[in-house]
Amino acid sequence: MKRAFPIFAVLTAALLSYGLYEALVVAPTEQTMGDVQRIFYYHVPSAWTAFTLFFLNLVASVWYLIRRNSKADALALAAAEVGVVFCTVVLVTGPIWARPVWGIWWTWDLRLTLTLVLWLIYVSYLMLRRFSTSGQTPVLAAVLAVLGALDVPLVYFSIWFFRTQHPQPVIGGGGSIDPRMLHVLLINWAAFSCFAALVCWSRYHLEVLSREVEETRALESLLGAGSPR
């Protein structure tokens, strides 16, 4: 993996650059919204990537609850951290897109509100991991992750079953999208997914190493305290 990591990093950087070029230059200009619609190629892939990471957090959390596997807990933490970053991008790019289109920065629309709630849940998860000193913190965090994951399908399907300010889905929901736009959207989703995998993998290994160092120090302290003087 050490040899493959630099190669994957270079390929990811190339894919991100290609996706940027496609979004800003190649993709056709939307007739109604104009160039501001190009945020779509970052807003939507960020949301899909965040959902994927939160699902990974859910799987790892459930695995930890079943097996009490420390590496599963480390993976859950890494996925949550990176997922919150992408969810933050969603909440930032959304209002930037909404202001010239809707005339407002924010409205308490069902999807927007549920997305904000989702972000708050996982920020709470990270705060619990950061500031709690209880030995049961990983278990409590895993339970919170399972409950938080229930909000993901609510966010996704909110515009399918309810009339909201947010546009209706253009993929799989009876809408339509220019094939050239769909092509650029999928390229950027692939680029964002690769970047998320790269960061998540790095953060996971850093967390595992950090825990190994802490365990070593604790063992050394224990042996030092028990040695004869």
pLDDT in tens, 17-38: 999 999 999 999 888 888 888 9
Q: At residue 168, what are phi and psi to the nearest 5 degrees? A: -70, 155
- The pLDDT mean for the chain works out to 89
Residue 21 lies in a domain: no
Residue 33's SS3 state is: coil
Average pLDDT on 50-79 reads 96
Which residue range forms the structural domain that includes residue 48?
38-222
Residue 24 lies in a domain: no
Overall domain count for the chain: 1
Q: Give the pLDDT confidence of 175-194 residue by residue, as tens digits.
A: 568 888 999 999 999 999 99
CA distance 86 to 82: 7
Residue 29 lies in a domain: no
pTM for the model stands at 0.90
Residue 133 lies in a domain: yes
pLDDT of residue 168: 63
